[in-house]
Structure 1
Amino acid sequence: MTDLDRLLDFAERSAVPGGFGFLGGDGQVIPDRPLMTFITARKTHVFGLAQLLGRPRADELVGHGVRALTDGPLRDDVHGGWRSTADDDTKSAYAHAFVILAGATATTVGAEGGPELLDAALDVWQSRFWDEAAGLAVEEWDAGWTRLSSYRGANANMHGVEASLAAADALGDDDPRAARLRAQALRSIERVVHGWARERGWRLPEHFAPDWTPLPEHNRDEPAHPFRPYGVTPGHQFEWARLCLHLSAALTGRSGHGGPDWLREDAVALFDAAATRGWAADGHDGFPYTLDWDDRPVVGARMHWVVCEAIAAATVLAEVTGQEHYRELADRWRAHGEARFADPVTGSWHHELTPSGEIATGTWDGQPDAYHLVQMLLLAGRPVRGSVAAALR
């Protein structure tokens, strides 16, 4: 079984001046990959979770991440906000959502500069990305915040929900921003899950025009895109299902009994659709990366994050509903992940495999990301809260 300490040992090797780098499968930072805001922010969050567990030196790594995001090359001191990468000045909602998450977890653990980072990231999110009329976040700006991309996406909004719930937990109920962030998370989930996904038989659209009209054919010619793939993405459906339950818990502080009843009902329906349509859809064990609108596999590659999110969602559903069926699924999929994805050399998981289980690099190379795997490991056996950090705290 994957050992959390060994996984974190591996993740620690990513620390470089200015943030956290992109790790190859050999445990070395890939030198020609620029620093990426989302990876530096995710690692800061991960080491914050490790600090909550009492891991030695985790506080130093959280501090390194906070300083990197505050004063490093990823921060744009001229125009404000954060660059997508050290050599890409565009300002993406996806990256900023993870800066909020990093700031929230850093605040939770009491890291120096954590509250200031969280405040700055929330200010940018609310002023530049949050669209109050739509109840969703816009996608991407140019470096100077003068041109807004016409593309709208569900992926960034999903992580915006996660970040908003984490920020609300970190701020505490005495801060009026906490209630606002949870209300915004509810609006986004209601539009994406209770609206678009439910109306389409629990097939969640990912891509949209500026007026939020779904674009079901978007990226048909680039179906394996790492952030905007064509078609239905079962892994994201698992994530949205889990976020429904985290929000439900956050609204009352008690697992599964808060907010509208449809939060839990939709979580079950969205999870069940992803599980039944996704698993072994091409005859091989595991979840294909994407399906088309008739539930046929498009990109058959197996991504580690997809099975991690499937396990995490099943774990949370088991906790909330008490149904053994979900616990059995979590156990079965965990065994699959350990058998197929776990890398005995690094202690992490391979990020991409072929349908038959060989290491692949069509979308992801190396093993840069500990975020999905660490959160999956930490959710088991813990109460459901608005955020993973709140459950650990």
Structure 2
Amino acid sequence: MVPGSEQWRDEQRRAILSFARRSKIDGGGFGWLDNDGGLDADANLQLWITARMTYVFSLAHLAGGPSTGSGTGENLELAEHGVRALAAFHDDVNGGWYSEIDATGAPAQTAKFCYEHAFVLLSACAASAAGAEGADALLDEATLVHRTRFWDADAGRCREEWNEDWTELDGYRGANSNMHSVEAYLFAADATGEDAWRQRALAICERVIGIHARGHHWRIPEHYDHDWTPMANYNVEKPSDPFRPFGATPGHAFEWARLIIQLAASLDEPRPWMQEAAEGLFEQAVADAVDDDAPGIPYTTDWHGSPVVEERFHWVIAEAVLAAEALHNYTDDALYEGLAARWWSEIDEHFVTEQGWVHELSPTMGPSSRTWQGKPDAYHAFNAVTLPSLPLAPCPAKTIERLAG
């Protein structure tokens, strides 16, 4: 079976979902899995994991068919389980969602983050399209919170972090949360029919990529102060942070490239700079991080393109192959087709196991846990084996919904 083929991806989708179903917690939410698929019963519940797994099972239900194991309605049940679980994270006094709760349902910390709220919005859009009970109300509040708390119309980008009652705004601004907001906003535009969400996504891309990344040779500054001035040395002493690492992140360059192409495909008149930017991001990431003599893609580089954290993460190569597939779809350039074939083969050889995809490998492709412990969620792997079968626009949930209808 050829890695990356339709048949291979169907088989992987079935295996990924089978493994991911183990993350369900009977008391509510989805938990953190170890390498063998066991739940860490002592770990707090994470909002980003529950939201991302709700998204995965919602799309799986929409897709249907034997490759998703959805004949019994199990995926819809899991999507609805996720929708109900998100209510446990909800701040009933101030609105919005806590990013982490303990076994009693109490918040482990009280700040409200754009990153996690972007995934709440994404999951609400997918769950609503899937017809999950309670998803429409979740979508109503998620759009309200993102529009009124995180979207900054003056900056044309999203704010990052508020305190519990929304009275104090942290000075940090981040590209990562804005990238996932672009993804969520594309879903929201299709879910609500409000083009303003697509225009917000465009505004973010114009600034973070069209200005900042372009000005840094298509390496994306990840961290900014309150005025959106890049902080080049942010976390230099903590380079392997899982969410805010030092330096440039090739995996995010690939992810932004894919999202920009999806955004361009959704516009009646795509901006001329969009294809240039997507190809520039992709080309620079390949030049910095892809070695013809070594498999996998390093996590981070410095501002000259030299690797800093050389561990290979599953999400990085998943986004690389998705970007290659999207750019090949959009441009028909054989370069992207060739790189996609290479990366599918590397995924098949090094990352795929009977116990889900390995989340982190060493530079020599052996076991590593420098940054990630276990296999917390299936979001990137599921996207990798699902999105190449779909048109670039509209969003996957809306596309599958229309095909099913």
Same-fold status (TM-score > 0.5): yes
The one of 123, 132, 138 equivalent to 1:102 is 123
Q: Which of 74, 78, 101 is matched with 1:61 structurally? A: 78
Structure 1, unaligned runs of 5 or more: 173-177, 253-257
Cα distance in 2, alignment partners of residues 287 and 44 from structure 1: 28
Structure-2 separation of matches of 1:95 and 1:381: 27
* 2:144 is aligned with 1:123: yes
Using the TM superposition, give the Cα deviation of residue 32 of structure 1 relative to its aligned residue in structure 2, in angstroms. 2.1
Task: Kindly provide the amino acid, as one letter, of the partner of residue 299 in structure 1.
Answer: V
Residues 375 and 388 in structure 1, CA contact (< 8 A), matched pair in contact too? no
Contact 1:352 / 1:360 at 8 angstroms: preserved in 2?
Answer: yes
Contact map agreement 1:226 1:363 (CA 8 A) in 2: yes
Q: Which residue of structure 1 lines up, in the alignment, with residue 360 of structure 2?
A: 352
Give the Cα–Cα distance (whole angstroms) in 1 for the partners of residues 172 and 394 of structure 2. Answer: 29
**Which among 38, 48, 60 is matched to residue 58 of structure 2?**
48
Structure 2: 5+ residue stretches without partners: 1-7, 65-69, 102-107
Question: What's 1:226 paired with?
Answer: 242
2:254 is aligned to 238
Could you say which residue in structure 2 is the equivalent of 1:152? 173
User: Is the 1:315–1:327 contact (alpha carbons within 8 Å) kept by the matching residues of 2?
Assistant: yes
Whole-Å separation in 2 of the counterparts to 1:264 and 1:391: 22
Q: Which is further off, 15-24 or 291-300?
A: 15-24
CA distance in 1, matches of 2:139, 2:266: 19
Where do 4+ consecutive residues of structure 1 move more than 2 Å? 390-393
For residues 231-310 of structure 1, the aligned pairs below 5 Å read: 231-252=247-268, 258-280=269-291, 284-310=294-320
TM-score (norm 2): 0.91
The one-letter code matched in structure 1 to 2:154 is A
Shift of the alpha carbon at 1:284? 3.2
Q: Which amino acid aligns with 1:83?
A: Y
| Counterpart amino acid of residue 77 in structure 1 | D
**How far is 1:388 from its partner?**
2.3
The residue aligned with 2:105 is none
**Range with bigger deviation, 141-150 or 38-47:** 141-150
Taking the aligned partners of 2:164 and 2:42, their CA distance within structure 1 comes to 22
User: Structure 1 CA distance, aligned partners of 2:296 and 2:364?
Assistant: 9
| C-alpha separation in 1, matches of 2:168 and 2:16 | 40
Alignment match, 2:398: 390
Q: 1:291 to 1:386 in 2, by over 3 A?
A: farther
Q: Specify the alignment match of 2:195 in structure 1.
A: 179
Cα distance in 1 for residues equivalent to 2:398 and 2:319: 19
- Residue of structure 1 in register with 2:104 after alignment: none
Q: Distance in 1 between matches of 2:399 and 2:307?
A: 35
SS at match of 2:232: coil
Contact 1:239–1:313 at 8 Å: present in 2 too?
Answer: yes
- Counterparts of 1:325 and 1:250 in 2: how far apart (Å)? 24
Corresponding residue of 1:85? 100
Structure 2 distance, partners of 1:105, 1:285, is 34
Q: Return the alpha-carbon distance in structure 2 between the equivalents of residues 267 and 44 of structure 1.
A: 29
Query: Equivalent residue of 1:289, what SS?
Result: coil
Q: Out of 379, 382, 392, which is 1:371 matched to? A: 379
Measure how far apart 1:68 and its partner are.
Answer: 1.1
The root-mean-square deviation of aligned C-alpha atoms, in Å, is 1.3
- Is the Cα–Cα contact under 8 Å of residues 171 and 225 in structure 2 kept in the other structure? yes
Aligned partners of 2:126 and 2:277: how far apart in 1?
28
Structure 2 counterpart SS, 1:380 = helix
CA shift at 1:370, angstroms? 0.5
Aligned-pair distance for 1:221?
0.4
1:392: how far off?
2.6
Q: Measure the CA separation in 2 of the matches of 1:205 and 1:334.
A: 28
**What is the deviation of 1:35?**
0.6
Q: Identical aligned pairs, as a percentage?
A: 45
Alignment size in residue pairs: 378
Please tell me whether the aligned partners of residues 280 and 288 of structure 1 are also in contact (alpha carbons under 8 angstroms). no
CA distance in 2 between counterparts of 1:181 and 1:302 reads 34
2:5 matched residue in structure 1:
none
Q: Specify the alignment match of 2:353 in structure 1.
A: 343
Structure 1 residues 78-129: Cα deviation after superposition (integer angstroms, max 9, x where no partner): 2110001112221100000000000000111122211111110111111111
Distance 2:381 2:204 in 1: 25
Work out whether residues 12 and 385 of structure 2, in 8 Å CA contact, stay in contact via their aligned partners in 1: no
The CA deviation at 1:324 is 2.0
2:54 is the counterpart of 1:33: no
CA shift, 1:286, in A, is 1.6
Q: Which amino acid aligns with 1:194?
A: G
Q: Provide the C-alpha distance between the structure 1 equivalents of 2:394 and 2:250, rounded to a whole number of angstroms.
A: 22
1:215 is displaced (CA, Å) by: 0.3
Q: Any conservation in 2 of the 1:384–1:391 contact (CA below 8 Å)?
A: no
Q: 1:13 aligns with which of 15, 22, 29?
A: 22
1:175 maps to what in 2?
Answer: none
Aligned counterparts of 2:156 and 2:22: Cα–Cα separation in 1: 39
